[in-house]
Structure 1
């Protein structure tokens, strides 16, 4: 029996103990956006440090202007080095009344199809995913007393609020974070039976438009038809930002947007993701993006523009006949390829200013962002991980793009010069950021086994 076989057997035999450790982690209400949970975030950081200490890592909790960062190392001579990244913070649980069980009281639940899931906030995003890696490390240490590669672990507490303090921490600790690869377990599989390696993440720009017209809200009977209405001005601006073919109309917006290789497009076509299968489960039927693109392209390899919220006028019970003097909209762009976040933001603002009529003015919010992440498809790192995943799942992994954003990955790629390897074991229906978040028990188990295999593959 090989060392790897012994490690995998150890994972199987100790699954219950792994779940106990995961449940202890999930009980910590580490909601990063809510100041009332600052101490919970600190507790979560100390919990991660204790786990790393128990695995023989030299681990520390580092204060930041926000929530703490945990950094641990286990190093040796003559081995490749990897940096594993994850986050202990979680999303708020609202609306609480939609949870079938208290969100920080984890439990195993059997679904109608007989499959078992771990139900709790953070189960899939990202505590359960972190534990797949740490439990693989635990098994290697228990069986061999060592790890196939040198491992550093960086777990932050602000991913859900934009990782605002992590870039400065990375810059201050570049020498301690150097690695041949950055491992990330915060993405999804293709489906319950098919593993995936994510080779691209869309970048992100968020901004806020604030339209002002009169010096106060006006009576719509006295001024209606003559005075500018801030909401109507805002609505006109928003409508002008996309044409009838679903393309974004900002001049220069598509600069740096690449075409995906034809062999990748052919692979995606064969995955069967269409409007019915993707939009149907959420009550929709027609793709709203570029009309000449497949649905899978719209969400994985093309940029996007969305309105995240509109505020203005009277929104209370009943009616109040006013012409609003102010309206605002929160917006986001998802970027791909070489699109530059600063250039996109500046072009967006210039275009919006060109659309503002007389008697109206516009200002903007903070407006920051991060670039997209792309991993070369011919990277030897991908080939090694693909072989390990194929051995565990008995089928080759799908190479996909990720529609979401993990802004700090671009920072790792640019500052550390390390190739990111994004292998996650979440599923599309895990309800992350929503009530009743879950994580497949099978995926937790096989995810742990997968990381054990990947660590071995990276050493070869």
Structure 2
């Protein structure tokens, strides 16, 4: 029996309806950061969080930025000092006609696998953020304080590129100083399998325009002699990969490391269901780099993806035109020690070396990149958290890779000198960024209980 923790867990169970009501109220605020029409709503979401933190007894403050405000709060005393990060902004809801109900009128929906909370932000990231806040609420309700010191740090621009984040962190280093950063914006490797992210892929964005004729041309007058940018850009895109799915850009794999055998063995036994993962996206086989498992492709291999391709006539019917331009958007997921700047230079050199006569390329000069991040899982807090998660979910928690990119983890290291621990309770099928986003009610409940256990475990030293 844990006389310190058990009353907190009982409080969480008894107050679940109230915790759910608070989340539903938060979800009703349409805090879409990328759309200026929702600027006041983003501020309203930040004010809601400030008020909620103050209800716990925290010193909470709305911190203005050139964009949407940050929220900072602090409560508790003693070691360790933990910095918890989340974001209150959400993705746009388009296409609205694919939603089964108003995205900002959240509902509970019974499904064969259990009840889910349906609404924009339920999983990314309001529901996840609130699991931690509710765990703190239960600790304070039972003991009058927390078992350690907590600084809350909530952002309102994560879904729109975080333009204010780095300047704010650099200007507030002292206020953000802590022993360890906690991030709850990740998924579990499989439903019911608690996971701590051990590595994140980095990200590189690029975009180019391929120009040919000086104007759009009549395909009867110029069809044949004219350079067609759409045809040429298709050739360029096809040149990025060989028949095995390997990227052909020279130097692309510099800094990529093979996964150690012991780590591969752990991944193979982590409960990941490849068939279910592929079926969720309407696929039957993996289409990635040959010679690597689906998990390796997702967590430990770099990618070069075409995210957008357009040019010429896009309207209904036919227009017999050879376009003057074609356009392409690219992202690369990076691993290991890959350098985003070197990858960008190599990618551009690859394209420019293959330009036909009379074609020219123009690159977007305002796109960014971030390297991959590897978590310091040797710290004792990681094993303490892993055991706490195992106790809550009644199965062994795993250290898992992650295919996505969370730049804040890297910023905590480079700007604040902090290690980060990423623990999330979302499922892969939560439809984040898509219509009908959802978050499992069990995940919300057990996520709160999980954070309560983690606070207990890491504060014992």
TM-score between both structures, scaled by the size of structure 2:
0.97
Which residue does 1:442 correspond to in 2? 442
The superposition leaves residues 359-382 of structure 1 with CA deviations (integer Å, 9 ceiling, x where unpaired) of: 000011122111111113423221
Following superposition, the deviation at residue 274 of structure 1 comes to: 6.4
Describe how 1:259-408 pairs up with structure 2 within 5 A.
Answer: 259-271=258-270, 273=272, 276-365=275-364, 366-408=366-408
Following superposition, the deviation at residue 190 of structure 1 comes to: 2.1
Following superposition, the deviation at residue 457 of structure 1 comes to: 1.0
Maintained 8 Å contact 1:84/1:182? yes
Task: Tell me which moved more, 283-292 or 29-38.
Answer: 283-292
1:50 aligns with 2:43: no
1:100 aligns with 2:90: no
- Aligned residue for 1:3, secondary structure, equals coil
Describe how 1:405-416 pairs up with structure 2 within 5 A.
Answer: 405-416=405-416
- Aligned residue for 2:5, secondary structure, equals helix
Distance 1:457 1:271, change over 3 A: closer
Task: Tell me which moved more, 269-278 or 327-336.
Answer: 269-278
Structure 1 distance, partners of 2:393, 2:250, is 46
Maintained 8 Å contact 1:274/1:296? no
Which residue does 2:37 correspond to in 1? 36
User: Between Structure 1 and Structure 2, how many residues are aligned?
Assistant: 458
Describe how 1:58-457 pairs up with structure 2 within 5 A.
Answer: 58-76=59-77, 78-113=78-113, 115-271=114-270, 273=272, 276-365=275-364, 366-457=366-457
- Aligned residue for 1:413, secondary structure, equals helix
Following superposition, the deviation at residue 272 of structure 1 comes to: 6.0
Maintained 8 Å contact 2:193/2:271? no
Structure 1 distance, partners of 2:6, 2:272, is 36
The superposition leaves residues 176-219 of structure 1 with CA deviations (integer Å, 9 ceiling, x where unpaired) of: 11111110111111222211111111111111011011110111
Structure 2 distance, partners of 1:244, 1:254, is 17
Structure 2 distance, partners of 1:127, 1:193, is 20
Following superposition, the deviation at residue 273 of structure 1 comes to: 4.3
Maintained 8 Å contact 2:190/2:273? no
Structure 1 distance, partners of 2:383, 2:275, is 32
Following superposition, the deviation at residue 46 of structure 1 comes to: 0.6
Distance 1:353 1:61, change over 3 A: same
- Aligned residue for 1:455, secondary structure, equals helix
Distance 1:23 1:411, change over 3 A: same
Structure 2 distance, partners of 1:242, 1:305, is 8
- Aligned residue for 1:205, secondary structure, equals strand
Structure 2 distance, partners of 1:157, 1:272, is 34
Structure 2 distance, partners of 1:393, 1:82, is 23
Maintained 8 Å contact 2:204/2:332? yes
- Aligned residue for 1:299, secondary structure, equals helix
- Aligned residue for 1:9, secondary structure, equals helix
Following superposition, the deviation at residue 75 of structure 1 comes to: 4.7
Q: What is the root-mean-square deviation of aligned Cα atoms in Å?
A: 1.3
